[in-house]
Amino acid sequence: MTETFTVVNSTLDMVDQLETIQRASFPNLSEAEIMTAAHYAAQIKRFPEGQLAILNEAGRAVACSTDFRTRVDFDHFEHRYIDAVDHNWLGNHDPQGDWLYGADIGVLPEYRRRGLATMLYRARHDLIRRLNLKGHVAGGMLKGYGQHKDKLSVEDYVAKVIAGELFDPTLSIQLKRGFTVHGIIQNYVDDPSCDGKAAFIVWYNPEYREA
């Protein structure tokens, strides 16, 4: 029988499980960039609607995502992840921001390929519609680029991922969820798997209405 999963807003009693998901999802991130239980607690207090978890039938959190509201300057999008997320405290959350910034998504390895990330993206896009935001932006870490960096520029690598000639474990999945690539962030994180690089990706809310 297939297991049933439920998307919920993250709550304070889940924060240790959320840290476990984070550590399993980003084994190469430096300790300074990892989200801890204390960060998750602060995020839930700051912007509860933006913090999502997926529970399995036993009530355990097996996937989660973190978002905050922001304004976006599409001409100047180069930024460090750790600055955008205020060292994971979400101090830059702007309650009037007209974009949702996707800070994080992770699924426990044994629960991957069952559509859980898709459920989280759907719930995030539902939130964007409910709040009448312009859309979703994120730095999509180019997790496959580290293996190709000696042969391909990051621009050529991303072009091949967009064309479907190469599979990137992060960007290929985000493209399937309707994101487009706005540009390349050269110095996003300290992680050799992506050589520090990310794609600045955008999903536009088709239902956005000017106030």
> Which residues of this protein are in contact with ligand COA, per CB under 6 A?
25, 105-107, 112-118, 140-141, 143, 169-170, 173, 176
| 31 vs 45, beta carbon nearer ligand COA | 31
CB of 67 to ligand COA, least distance (A): 12
| 2 vs 96, beta carbon nearer ligand COA | 2
CB of 16 to ligand COA, least distance (A): 18
Q: Which two tokens stand for residue 12?
A: 């304070």
CB of 141 to ligand COA, least distance (A): 4
Closest by alpha carbon to 24, among 14, 33, 34?
Answer: 34
| 33 vs 98, beta carbon nearer ligand COA | 33
CB of 103 to ligand COA, least distance (A): 9
Q: Which two tokens stand for residue 199?
A: 């794609």
| 117 vs 128, beta carbon nearer ligand COA | 117
Q: How far lies 169's CA from each of 19, 33, 144, in Å?
A: 21, 20, 6
Q: Are strands 198-204 and 180-185 parallel, antiparallel or unpaired?
A: antiparallel
Please tell me what DSSP assigns to residue 29: S
Closest by alpha carbon to 141, among 94, 80, 70, 72?
Answer: 80
